[in-house]
Amino acid sequence: RAASRRLVAYLLQSFRVEAAHGALPAPSALSLRSLPLAAHGSQGQRSSGD
């Protein structure tokens, strides 16, 4: 759960910072989407395995 909260906080910070700039670069948007997807996948497997 700690890792999940950190990831969410990191994503929110990154998103807010970019939103404040008024522009969302495509590469950054892709990275932000890839991170949560990978994290959710790992967490899902861990939960099922546990």
Where in the chain are the domains?
2-49
| Alpha-carbon gap, residue 28 to 14, rounded angstroms | 9
Which pLDDT belongs to residue 13?
A: 82
CB-CB contact of 11 with 36 (8 Å):
yes
H helix intervals, 1-50: 2-21, 26-49
Q: Which pLDDT tens digits describe the chain residue by residue (50 residues)? A: 888 899 888 888 877 666 565 655 555 555 555 555 555 555 555 555 54
Distance CA 22, CA 8 (A): 21
Residue for token pair 């899902």: 44
pLDDT for the residue 29: 52
Rounded Cα distance, 21 and 30, in Å: 17
Classified as helix, coil or strand, 1 is coil
